[in-house]
């Protein structure tokens, strides 16, 4: 019996009559089998490979056969733009069988929300943060709204897993599981993910349903790849403009600063350019998407905002400045092309730097053998545990420590936090006045209210920080985007210029009282310093593949002449320094260079171990090597130190690593850090900067 024949008859008729489908794709057949059997599932398929229908058709069929009183199915996406993008498609699928869908996020008008709460749609499309708002809102009776919730579909599940937002999502799902009558069926959708079984295990949570990974064989597909090297941004943008001419393309950049600079250069070269990143206003982003969707000759220069499955219509080319940090991002971006019949998926890398060329090669070669990063799900996610304590205290007019623990201990991302540690945290938060006790219940204390109480606690609903920003407007009050506080602090009325939306703007005046920057067009702007201060780590596998690229003689047919020349020149230079790679240490002019190719996080961990063992030495790591300087830095002392690094006892010396954690820079990784006791904050920062198991395993596998 086919999956299609098991759908509700009304849905079968609509698929044939309204969509003119004659068959289901393999992923839809296999997913339908799993979901109709009641299994939890992770469904994998390329972008535009039919994942949405694979999950939603079985969900809609169930809604037809047994109408819920309230919401029956949740569709959760990581960003509002993806919800808006999917609204028409899911609206069509529900409308064609007589059901309804509703989109609830931060931009949904209040009158529409009130109407939905009176007459809920069967399918609710939302974000984890908006679900949190519903739990906290006095207007929402979550037990009535979600009592018959059967299924939650999480799009782009890889964007959640392993992050604070993923921990928050799982906590919210477990709260939903407490109010529904059903064992909530959990479905994750993704195009590219390593070790999907780990994602499924995480997603299962407390559900007792069987789990299944749906990953049907994919037919081999051609890919068109090119790596271009140009020595400066202007030449790079001119080359990209020539390639983009007469076509629709996305140009991905690794930072907002780069996207602004590239857009300006391409516009000067005559290309129709739109800019799309998180600091560009919503109106400008929507205008870019709309014009691009209906155009035939345009380029959107973007950051990762367009990496997820937002449909901007048929796309001819993906361009990439330098290279992304992961194979997953590379595949996700390339997957935006090759959707039309006869079209080939493609990516062209435009690299100013030699490192960009090497990184692009490493990503391509790893993807060719089917390797994609696995997502490690943390089990001691302190920032979100603190966030959820505050959120539950607010949502329930106070919560007992026992009831909060009963919930939090069920969330996978908190599994390795013990009850003793939890009690110690509660005691600290009471002493620190971020919580207080009222009639035996935990309620928000004055410190939390001062930190998060503005605008009816809106700042509390999201687990990630929203930095202070200023709105940029023209003299005619047209919003252009936002600037961060630290950038605005450097602006001078009537003097300063900057780039935003790919155009140059002159500052007329900064209005600090209502946080506005009023601007007028300028002939050419200075580049805003968007970037953050946190170190950017490449993974060990990518760095090791770069090592192979340098030490082997393989020629890569997708390199242009300039990129090939850069590779060969760098190969000669590196081989002269490290020979065949077996002994990757050189001491010259009082500086020791250790070419580890171990990745940024392992190298950072080794750096702190080196400085802990040799306090007079200074170690400077990057993703590929560690430079060391200091008194008495000799080959003999280095050999002694290297043996100490190989000792297993070092990596299990808790006192040694506690001492190092206490000396780590206090990076601002979470807006909940001000509420953390020192011992939790040290662990959180150390978790970001250090990889003790990875470093221990790496040093012990190196030849002497």
685-696 pLDDT, tens per residue? 899 889 999 999
Matching fold, domains 3-214 and 223-368: yes
Mean pLDDT, residues 521-528: 56
DSSP conformation class of 467: -
DSSP conformation class of 345: E
Model confidence band, residue 532 (pLDDT cutoffs 50, 70, 90): very low
Residue 171, SS3 per DSSP:
helix
Per CATH, domain 3-214 is 3.40.1210.10: no
How far is 574 from 568, CA to CA, in rounded Å? 10
The whole-number pLDDT of residue 466 equals 44
In the chain, what are the domain boundaries?
3-214, 223-368, 382-460, 469-521, 582-701
Q: What are the pLDDT digits (tens) for 28-65?
A: 999 999 999 999 999 998 777 899 999 999 999 999 99
Please identify, in words, the CATH class of the domain defined by 223-368: alpha beta
Residue 381 CA, chain-centre distance (Å), reads: 16
In sequence order, the 6+-apart residues with CB closer than 8 A to the CB of 431 are none
Which residue is it, tokens 């609903």?
A: 461
Mean pLDDT, residues 509-527: 73
DSSP conformation class of 37: T
Residue 467 has pLDDT above 60, yes or no: no
Q: At 361, list the tokens.
A: 């090669």
Residue 690, SS3 per DSSP:
coil
Q: Which of 420-429, 463-472, 603-612 has the lowest mean pLDDT?
A: 463-472
Residue 614 has pLDDT above 90, yes or no: yes
Mean pLDDT, residues 559-584: 86
Exposed / middle / buried, residue 630 (Cβ in 10 Å: 0-12, 13-18, 19+): middle
- Residue pair 101/180 in contact by the 8 Å Cβ criterion: no
Maximum mean pLDDT: which of 210-219, 247-256, 554-563, 631-640: 554-563
Percent of the chain with pLDDT over 90: 58
Q: What are the pLDDT digits (tens) for 300-339?
A: 888 776 666 555 556 789 999 999 999 998 998 898 887 6
Q: Which residue has the higher pLDDT, 82 or 361?
A: 361
The whole-number pLDDT of residue 495 equals 65
CATH code: domain 382-460 is 1.10.10
**Beta-carbon neighbour count of residue 85 at 10 Å?**
17
**Beta-carbon neighbour count of residue 246 at 10 Å?**
8
pTM over 0.75: yes
Element (H, E) at 615: none
Q: What are the pLDDT digits (tens) for 104-115?
A: 988 889 999 999
- Residue pair 39/212 in contact by the 8 Å Cβ criterion: yes
Q: At 49, list the tokens.
A: 């490979």
Model confidence band, residue 195 (pLDDT cutoffs 50, 70, 90): confident
Mean pLDDT for the chain overall: 87
Element (H, E) at 445: none
Q: What are the pLDDT digits (tens) for 121-160?
A: 999 999 999 999 898 888 899 999 999 999 999 999 998 9
Exposed / middle / buried, residue 339 (Cβ in 10 Å: 0-12, 13-18, 19+): middle
Which residue is it, tokens 């100490």?
A: 644
What does residue 114 show for φ and ψ, rounded to 5 degrees?
-60, -40
**Beta-carbon neighbour count of residue 148 at 10 Å?**
18
């Amino acid at each position: 019996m086919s999956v299609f024949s098991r759908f509700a008859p009304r849905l079968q008729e609509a698929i044939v009559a309204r969509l003119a489908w004659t068959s289901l794709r393999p992923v839809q057949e296999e997913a339908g089998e799993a979901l109709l059997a009641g299994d939890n599932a992770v469904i994998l398929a390329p972008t535009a490979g039919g994942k949405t229908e694979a999950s939603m058709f079985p969900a809609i069929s169930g809604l037809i056969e047994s109408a819920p009183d309230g919401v029956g199915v949740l569709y959760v996406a990581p960003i509002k733009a993806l919800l808006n993008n999917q609204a028409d498609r899911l609206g069509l699928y529900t409308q064609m069988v007589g059901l309804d869908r509703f989109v609830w996020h931060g931009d949904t008008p209040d009158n529409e929300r009130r109407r939905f709460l009176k007459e809920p749609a069967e399918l609710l499309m939302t974000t984890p943060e908006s679900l949190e708002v519903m739990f906290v809102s006095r207007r929402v009776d979550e037990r009535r709204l979600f009592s018959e919730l059967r299924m939650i579909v999480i799009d782009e599940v890889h964007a959640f897993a392993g992050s604070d937002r993923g921990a928050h999502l799982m906590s919210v799902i477990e709260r939903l599981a407490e109010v529904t009558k059903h064992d909530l069926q959990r479905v994750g959708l993704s195009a590219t993910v390593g070790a999907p079984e780990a994602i499924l295990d995480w997603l299962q949570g407390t559900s007792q349903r069987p789990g299944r990974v749906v990953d049907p064989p994919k037919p081999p597909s051609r890919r068109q790849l090119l790596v271009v090297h140009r020595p400066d941004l202007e030449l790079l943008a001119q080359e990209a403009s020539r390639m983009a001419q007469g076509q629709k393309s996305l140009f991905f950049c690794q930072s907002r600063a780069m996207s602004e600079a590239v857009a300006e250069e391409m516009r000067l070269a005559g290309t129709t350019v739109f800019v799309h990143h998180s600091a560009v206003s919503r109106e400008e982003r929507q205008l870019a998407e709309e014009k691009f969707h209906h155009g035939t000759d345009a380029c959107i220069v973007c950051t990762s905002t367009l990496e997820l499955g937002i449909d901007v219509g048929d796309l001819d080319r993906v361009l990439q400045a330098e290279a992304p940090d992961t194979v997953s991002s590379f595949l996700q971006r390339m997957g935006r092309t090759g959707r039309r019949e006869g079209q080939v998926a493609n990516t062209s890398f435009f690299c100013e730097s030699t490192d960009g060329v090497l990184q692009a090669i490493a990503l391509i070669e790893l993807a060719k053998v089917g390797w994609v990063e696995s997502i490690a799900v943390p089990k001691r996610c302190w920032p979100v545990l603190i966030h959820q304590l505050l959120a539950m205290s607010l949502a329930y007019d106070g919560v007992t420590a026992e009831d909060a623990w009963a919930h939090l201990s069920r969330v996978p991302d908190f599994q390795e936090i013990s009850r003793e540690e939890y009690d110690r945290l509660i005691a600290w938060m009471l002493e620190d006045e971020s919580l207080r006790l009222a009639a035996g219940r935990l309620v928000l204390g004055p410190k939390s209210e001062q930190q998060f109480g503005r605008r009816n606690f809106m700042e509390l609903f999201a687990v990630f920080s929203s930095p202070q920003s200023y709105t940029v407007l023209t003299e005619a009050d047209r919003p252009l985007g936002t600037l961060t506080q630290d950038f605005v602090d450097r602006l001078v009325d009537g003097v300063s210029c900057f780039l935003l939306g790919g155009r140059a703007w002159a500052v007329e005046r900064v209005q600090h009282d209502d946080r506005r920057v009023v601007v007028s067009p300028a002939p050419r702007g200075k580049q805003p310093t968007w970037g953050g201060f946190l170190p950017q780590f490449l993974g060990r596998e990518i760095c090791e593949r770069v090592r192979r690229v340098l030490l082997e003689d393989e020629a890569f047919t997708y390199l242009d002449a300039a990129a090939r020349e850069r590779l060969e020149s760098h190969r000669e230079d590196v081989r002269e320094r490290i020979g065949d790679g077996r002994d990757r240490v050189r001491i010259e002019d009082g500086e020791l260079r250790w070419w580890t190719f171990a990745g940024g996080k392992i190298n950072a961990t080794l750096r702190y171990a080196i400085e802990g063992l040799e306090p007079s030495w200074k170690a400077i790591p990057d993703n590929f090597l560690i430079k060391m300087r200091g008194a008495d830095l000799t080959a003999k002392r280095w050999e002694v130190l290297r043996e100490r690094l190989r000792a297993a006892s070092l990596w299990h010396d808790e006192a040694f690593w506690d001492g190092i954690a206490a000396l780590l820079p206090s990076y601002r990784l979470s807006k909940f850090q001000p509420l953390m006791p020192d011992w939790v904050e040290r662990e959180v920062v150390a978790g970001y900067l250090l990889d003790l198991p990875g470093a221990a395993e790496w040093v012990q596998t190196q030849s002497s």
